[in-house]
Amino acid sequence: MNNTLIIAEIGVNHNGDVSTARKMIEVAKECGADIVKFQTFNTDALTSKFAKMAEYQKKNMGEEKSQKDMLKSLALSYDDFRELADYCKKVGIMFLSTPFDIGSVHFLDSLQDIWKIPSGEITNYPYLVEIAKTKKKIILSTGMCTIDEVEEALKVLKTNGATDITLLHCTTDYPAPLESVNLKAMLTLKEKFGCPVGYSDHTKGIEVSVAAVAMGAEVIEKHFTLDRNMPGPDHKASLEPNELKELVDAIRNVEKALGDGNKKPTESELLNRAVARKSIVALKAIKAGELFTEDNLTTKRPGNGISPMRWNEILGTRAKRDYEEDELID
């Protein structure tokens, strides 16, 4: 990739409303994101009636109910997603949605060219097999995982046909405290598995995502919302539109600053070099035939004369002409 792939995750921050989802697509495009991502699920296939809400969900929503009831209030239909995929084409941004059950994998297969596997599905063997069989590019989040679990998931995916896999380091907490980020683990994933890596960011603010890009992340995923005060489980850990724009701009600036890694002076530096560096000059008036010594030479700006690195070469030779104080030795 020439640029970091920036995924603006809507997730369920549309709160089950298609018009809100369309508005968020427009905002993501305006902010410069590459991809807008949703979450597609059949509530009955995703969770049992006994599953409870996570602690962060209770805290962020200010209430406690079953996961199933919470998710039903946030779900969009397959027809809704077809409409949103078409709307993404119209707006000019890539559509992507994470499936949370095998039926949704089959449904989304015709709508998108890549997969985003969430951290919670990394140990779901039949789900991994079904996605791998499509042979499409995969972006795999690794939140809550041990290194052995990542290795096992990669083995399942590759054995069943997946060849292009990017691993995202992730801390599955909403919002994730900075001390839990362990961003260097992203580099551990790259070194151990030889895959492209990125970062799925659940922290507040944009600093950690920008740091991840500086460290070599090829993909950044970040939740966003129209308003952090909206009800719902993920709004509190999401960026608002102006912050999403700041994130995109900051990442693009870091990309420019990273360069190609070759250490050489830039064109603007070449213009400044003569001004900033020094040359060997006459410390005082020198007559033709005099020996150059440490008593009659020094180094001063500008740097368009003989480099001071040739100091020992010049010492002990004789002046071929008269020099006045401060004149460049030639």
Residue type, 53: M
Q: Which two tokens stand for residue 116?
A: 């985003």
Of 81, 87, 85, 86, residue with least CA distance to 100 = 81
130-175 pLDDT, tens digit each? 999 999 999 999 999 999 999 999 999 999 999 999 999 999 988 9
Residue 15: left (phi > 0), alpha (psi -120 to 50), or beta? left
Q: Can you list the residues of the chain whose pLDDT is less than 50?
A: 1
Output the CA angle 115-45-89, nearest 5 degrees. 35
Interhelix angle 184-193/147-159, rounded to 10 degrees, is: 40
For the chain, the domains span: 5-258, 267-314
The whole-number pLDDT of residue 2 equals: 52
The DSSP string of 217-237 is -SEEEEEB-S-TTSSSSSGGG
Q: Which CATH architecture has domain 267-314?
A: Alpha-Beta Complex (3.90)
Residue 318: which residues within 8 A CB-CB, separation 6 or more? Answer: 289, 290, 291, 292
Looking at the structure, give the CATH architecture of the domain made up of residues 5-258: Alpha-Beta Barrel (3.20)
pTM for the model stands at 0.89
Nearest to 36 by CA among 69, 8, 61: 8
Residue 1: predicted pLDDT: 41
Identify the pLDDT of residue 69: 82
